[in-house]
Amino acid sequence: MTRIGRLSRFLPILQWGAQYDRQALGSDLLAAVIVTIMLVPQSLAYAMLAGLPPETGLYASVLPIVLYAIFGTSRSLAVGPVAVIALMTAAAVGPVAAQTGLPPTAVALTLALLSGLMLVIMGILRLGFLANFLSHPVIAGFITASGLLIALGQVRHILGVPGGGETLPELLGSLLRHLGETNLWTLAVGVGALAFLVWTRSGVSPLLQRLGVPARAAQIAARTAPVLAVVATTLLAWGLGLEAKGVAVVGEVPRGLPPLTWPPLTPDLLRALLLPAFLIAVIGFVESVSVAQTLAARRRERIDPDQELVGLGAANIGAAMTGGMPVTGGFARSVVNHDAGAATPAAGAFTALGLLAVALTLTPLIHYLPQATLAATIIVAVLSLVDFGILRRAWRYSRADFAAVASTIVLTLGLGVETGVTAGVVLSLILYLYKTSRPHIAEVGLVPGTQHFRNIRRHEVETDPEVLSVRVDESLYFANARFLEDWLLERVAGSSIRHVVLLCSAVNEIDFSGLETLEEINRRLGLAGITLHLSEVKGPVMDRLRRSSLLDHLSGRVFLSHYDAIRSLSGARADQEADSPIPMTRGEPS
């Protein structure tokens, strides 16, 4: 039992597999059928978006789903190709394939393998926290900009013109140059599919409900609508011979099992893919984990982020071995899986079987599917990712967060996905370090009738002209240590102050540079005849100070509470009552 218990932490399948019953089987099978119908057009579309043959998308949805079901911790997450990762794959694979002379499919395999290995290693080393350095505004900005780039990149398939690009200027320039070459048949199919898909997003569910279909079933049916567009436009292209009229179709898709593949591993290729693979691993993980957490919260379950890394990593390694492309947990497919009633990860395995059946039997029928239909599917899917409202919300709340989200959006649109997300992370860190290097320092006084001290500039408080109470609102570390020293020496110059008490309730850490600064402050205040005291030093900070020689040299004392310090230092004038403790002068509120 304990052996299984321990093992099941690394193989979550052992937990739910033991209790699997007929009811769960029924729920899982139904969910799998619905998700399969939804995934066929999506998989083909995202492979196209990544610049890869359509079957790659199908292959990337079979073994990865099974591996995630074994190693992952979310019960309803569905992994496979998703829009943003497909865009990042396109950005990485295109140039590297051109540079190395390898086929894009081979480069995509290596990219998936590298990402997968990185994810597994991060999981084993419990480095899931690294993903936290992608702040919410950076992610939101990145997803919005990526959505816009993806949608714009698909417009050429709707128009039936050549071109392309990886940044907003490139995409716009290419579209303008080729606008005159628009193929009207393609445009008709594309706009038709687009209109139908937009309508299904809002119109189908109410219509079905008016016809008596229960609300949830109606919503799920709406999600599978793209397959109708696929079937209708494929039949149309076949019946009207649209391929001969210049409408680009998917063409030959090989029928059969996903192939066993071994990614090429030349040093040049690995070096070129190192950064893109890392970015795909981290972005994919962040996206996947946030989907998994959202779904887990609905069912009061918890997921384990470090184990999620292993699950996703295994899925990507699986994709690399079976002719796929980088994968992650997708929002739309997971929500549908969840809403359709998937009870266990087995639903994912059944979906994999469904897609396998499609790959084995239906692929020849896909020949006449117009690329414009797939482009319409992608556009409708990604436009829901675009949310410029994040700019307004961030602006209202904080200029620093706004700067991070705005530059992530601008740089992603202007210079591409890799530069954009890297710059966003770096800028967030720089802004954070800048803020902590100039900490907020408040002079505090006693709130009358309490033992509580607040900023004299914000509250009506009592102070003593001979005792300076200073609260530092930041850990003392190398980047801000000198700032406090300058502030304090400036403040006491030419005053009647005899005691300085540093209220350390907000000092969460004092590093070696901070310690040396405190010693320097103590020495300099001592030269001016001023005593330095500390109050409310936290346990972990105090433990460390005890290992230094500061406490031996400290001219004053360390008080448990700031109230004790003030009562003791204001001496005989102090009163024992909490309500009017010390006859003090009033601080200036403002």
Which segment (130-138, 273-281, 329-337, 368-376) binds a copy of itself by CB under 8 A?
130-138
List the interface residues with a copy of itself, window 274-333 (CB under 8 A). Answer: 297, 302
Q: What is the DSSP letter of 510?
A: B
User: Nearer Cβ to a copy of itself, position 245 or 458?
Assistant: 458
Nearest approach in angstroms of CB 580 to a copy of itself is: 13
Which segment (245-253, 329-337, 358-366, 448-456) binds a copy of itself by CB under 8 A?
448-456
Residue 474 sits in the site that holds a copy of itself (CB under 8 A): yes
**Dihedral sign of CA atoms 378, 380, 381, 383 in order:** positive
> What are the DSSP calls for 558-574, one per residue?
EESSHHHHHHHHTGGG-
For residue 214, give the 3-state DSSP assignment: coil
Nearest approach in angstroms of CB 447 to a copy of itself is: 7
Nearest approach in angstroms of CB 225 to a copy of itself is: 31
Among 197, 315, 352, 479, binds a copy of itself (CB under 8 A): 479
Q: Is residue 292 within 8 Å of residue 74, measured between CB atoms? A: yes
User: Nearer Cβ to a copy of itself, position 401 or 464?
Assistant: 401
List the interface residues with a copy of itself, window 138-177 (CB under 8 A). Answer: 138
User: What are the C-alpha distances in Å from 431 to residues 406, 434, 473?
Assistant: 13, 5, 17
CB atoms within 10 A of CB 139: 21
Which segment (83-91, 126-134, 247-255, 325-333) binds a copy of itself by CB under 8 A?
126-134
Is residue 588 exposed (0-12), middle (13-18) or buried (19+ Cβ within 10 Å)? exposed
Pick from 138, 150, 151, 167: nearest CA to 390: 138
Residue 544 sits in the site that holds a copy of itself (CB under 8 A): yes
Nearest approach in angstroms of CB 69 to a copy of itself is: 24
Token output for 291: 């989907």
Among 178, 367, 435, 557, binds a copy of itself (CB under 8 A): 435
Among 6, 177, 299, 438, binds a copy of itself (CB under 8 A): 438
Nearest approach in angstroms of CB 507 to a copy of itself is: 8
Among 433, 553, 571, 573, binds a copy of itself (CB under 8 A): 433
Residue 429 sits in the site that holds a copy of itself (CB under 8 A): yes
List the interface residues with a copy of itself, window 204-243 (CB under 8 A). Answer: none
List the interface residues with a copy of itself, window 396-415 (CB under 8 A). Answer: 396-398, 400-401
Rounded to an integer, what distance in angstroms lies between the CA atom of residue 189 and that of residue 15?
Answer: 48
Token output for 277: 């693979």
Per DSSP bridges, beta strands 585-586 and 558-559 are unpaired
Residue 428 sits in the site that holds a copy of itself (CB under 8 A): yes
Residue 440 sits in the site that holds a copy of itself (CB under 8 A): yes
First to last CA, the chain: 65
Residue 568 sits in the site that holds a copy of itself (CB under 8 A): no
User: Nearer Cβ to a copy of itself, position 132 or 202?
Assistant: 132
SS3 content of the chain, % helix, strand, coil (to 5): 65, 5, 30
C-alpha triplet 589, 462, 501: angle, nearest 5°: 105
Q: Is residue 116 within 8 Å of residue 379, measured between CB atoms? A: no
- The strand pairing partners of 455, in sequence order, are 444
Residue 71 sits in the site that holds a copy of itself (CB under 8 A): no
What stretch of H or E contains 501?
Answer: strand 499-503
Rounded to an integer, what distance in angstroms lies between the CA atom of residue 406 and that of residue 417?
Answer: 14
Phi-psi region for residue 237, left (φ > 0), alpha (ψ -120 to 50) or beta? Answer: alpha
Among 357, 578, 583, 589, binds a copy of itself (CB under 8 A): 578
Q: Is residue 61 within 8 Å of residue 37, measured between CB atoms? A: no
Pick from 130, 193, 107, 110: nearest CA to 375: 193
Which segment (88-96, 183-191, 247-255, 472-480) binds a copy of itself by CB under 8 A?
472-480
Number of residues that bind a copy of itself (CB under 8 A): 70
Among 361, 560, 588, 589, binds a copy of itself (CB under 8 A): 560
User: Nearer Cβ to a copy of itself, position 10 or 397?
Assistant: 397
Among 200, 469, 480, 570, binds a copy of itself (CB under 8 A): 480
Each residue 505-534 as x (binds a copy of itself by CB under 8 A) or -, in order, gives xxxxx-xxx-xx-------x--x-------
User: Nearer Cβ to a copy of itself, position 6 or 298?
Assistant: 298
Among 451, 491, 498, 557, binds a copy of itself (CB under 8 A): 451
Q: Say which residues have a Cβ less than 8 Å from residue 536's Cβ, sequence separation at least 6.
A: 503, 504, 505, 559, 560, 561, 562
User: Nearer Cβ to a copy of itself, position 422 or 451?
Assistant: 451
User: Nearer Cβ to a copy of itself, position 29 or 431?
Assistant: 431
Token output for 288: 């996947």
Among 478, 571, 573, 589, binds a copy of itself (CB under 8 A): 478
Virtual CA dihedral for 513, 519, 524, 525, nearest 10 degrees?
120
Place of tokens 């010693």: 519
Nearest approach in angstroms of CB 244 to a copy of itself is: 53
Virtual CA dihedral for 86, 87, 88, 89, nearest 10 degrees?
50
- The amino acid that residue 254 corresponds to is P
Residues near a copy of itself (CB under 8 A): 129, 132-138, 297, 302, 393-394, 396-398, 400-401, 428-429, 432-433, 435-440, 442, 447, 450-452, 454-455, 457-458, 473-475, 477-483, 489, 505-509, 511-513, 515-516, 524, 527, 536, 538-540, 544, 547-548, 560-561, 563, 578
